[in-house]
Structure 1
Amino acid sequence: MYHLDNDSSVVDMPQTAPVLFTERRWFTEGGDGIQPSYPGADWFNIIQAEMMNVLALANITPDKNQHDQFAQAIRFFSSDYMLMPGIPLPWTRTTIPARYGNRYAFMVGQSFSGLAYPLLAEAYPDLIIPDMIGITIKGTPPGRDPLSYEADGVISHTHGIEIDNTDLGTKQTTENGAHVHTYGVTGDNFSIDNIYRETITDGNNRSTSSAGAHIHNLVLGAHKHLATILATGNTENTVKNRAFNYIVRLY
């Protein structure tokens, strides 16, 4: 798009004529006593001024040989009012398409110029684009500032464990013990304690009487065991997720 560019043009836009009609009026070819419409320089100047101001607001330099600049400005404004510089955007690729020019950048913790990108500086006053690699976004809770970083963590909790009681009842030893003990005695008038009262006078060996094979009972009763809960899980806390690369509009 370009302005009037011939020898009939003037440097300064002439003063517009006073308003004649407040309702909308339209062009006509004339006929039936009505003269054909003519726009005149006044109308063309207004239209040209409007369109050139659109390019200026979109920061587009008029180019006489580029005929889609007005369309570019419209596209710029549509994203400009819907998407402010500084908003993190999830992107599906590792590169940014060339058609977006240098208006976007990946969020990898890089610094930027506040003079070159004043709108971005309003979002990030420290002039550093946050590093969003492996980071999710969280609504700012009470007590925290926007853009503050929080490391991963697990909410404080406890674990409960219960091991069923086991009553082992009464156990028995193996059946054994059918044996006797021998002992020797010498000397006259030798007696074995108060229980065994046989007096030995001939110096021969004697044996205790056998109790026969027998068992012993062992009461174990109900009891519990200590338990150790082993660690499990990933190296960090995660939720079900899908990976995107965060990009940000610069201007």
Structure 2
Amino acid sequence: MLLTEKLNQIKRAQVQKPDKVFTLYLNTDRRDPDRQHGEWKIQLKNGFRNFEDYLKESGNKEEQENFEKVKEKVQDEIDTIEKDLKRGLVIIASSDDQIWFVERTQVPVTTNLYWEEEPQLDQLEQLSNDYPNTGIILVHYDYVRILETELGFLTKSEEYAWDPDEDNWRIYEGTTGSENTPGNGSTAQRELFEDRVKANRERWYKSMASKLDKKSKNRDWEKIYVAGEKEEAEELSKLMNKETEIVGKNYADKRDDEVLELLVS
């Protein structure tokens, strides 16, 4: 499900009193000088304590119990994913359990905690404007990796390799690997490989371009990057029916999160 669809579900959810919704935006960016030593943990702890103190003073025991229930669920989730946190974290949880939304962001957010009758979506909606649905296409000889992002989040990553036996692109499962890349083998082998790629590249890329145009339409990509060696990126981009931004750099050896940091954040 697209993240925008998840947000629409959250907006449609009706939480009835005395139930409430906890909304958390947490800046966990270790590149931020103020957050290199886990300062976000202190901010989260203090935020929880402030709500607990307020609710204790209010004397509303049912609301206190609802908050403690949500707090425990949120804390358990954070404990589980702590090692995989990126630059930000968004959690939205209702005390009646009908809302549960967790996303680790590749872009920074401003730390805020809310306990309200409705979810607080301003930051998510701003992310939607700043970071539209984006397709990132990494091309390198007979290998293509496709990353999809929404609201600055990585939503999907898949890899394709050209199968000469099937004469078609197939989902990459690691069987072609580095042994098929031009950086390995003798000089003669590399030259033969490169000549073969050049001779067939337009036909291969035309087939891939058709797949990419279809994905772009189905996934509502508002922006498309094509990255790789300039000649390859330009050729694939030219064969697509969508407007693209060409990045003349080879990111094939970069992790997904590294690519997003370089191109999206």
Normalised-by-shorter TM-score class: under 0.3
TM-score by length of 1: 0.21
| Structure of larger gyration radius | 1
Name the TM-score, length of structure 2 as normaliser: 0.20
Structure with higher strand content? 2
